[in-house]
Amino acid sequence: MKKKILIGVAAVVGALVLFVVYLILFPASPPKSASISDKGLDVKVKYGAPFKKGRLIFGNPTEKALQPYGKYWRLGANAATEITFNKNVTFAGKPVNAGSYRMYAVPGPTSFQVSLNSEVGVFFGVNEPNYKLDVVKIDAPVTEGPETEQFTISFASDSTGVNMNFNWGKTQFTVPIKAQ
């Protein structure tokens, strides 16, 4: 009898271990990073990149959107999204000191309110941040772009500085960043 119980326990533990290994090797929202170096300014962002999978991503709560308008969003999946600047910058025209920040947003139909928060190293970013630690909040106008299956953050430089671009579904917005 004890042997059957041990075999059953071993089978369950083995199945759990295989499941965890599978999740590690093939995450539903893989970790991504994007970075840029432009005229001495280095910016790096780390985030989880979920897939659309046929879902309505942004919308009113009555539409059963994955991310309802007016609600906290960690700008990705899994751990909280983090951004690092090697120099003092202006983030959409507002001053921000060099360092690392938690970055999150509150989506809206015409703009996203993007915030930087001094609370970093948050693994389970689904929990809302301590809003008292917000460093800056900006409004980024939304435009419609080409359909994007996987959430993406990318950078591009122009004559005025760096643009951080966010794309998911047909929603896109940009935050300009300039070295001070």
Provide the whole-model pTM. 0.84
pLDDT digits (tens), the chain, 180 positions: 888 787 777 767 766 665 554 445 556 789 999 999 999 999 999 999 999 999 999 999 899 999 999 999 999 998 899 999 999 999 999 999 999 999 999 999 999 999 999 999 887 767 899 999 999 999 999 999 999 999 999 999 999 899 999 999 999 999 999 999
Residues near 10 by beta carbon (within 8 Å), at least 6 away in sequence: none
Whole-angstrom CA distances from 11 to 3, 6, 14, 20, 60 are 12, 9, 5, 14, 45
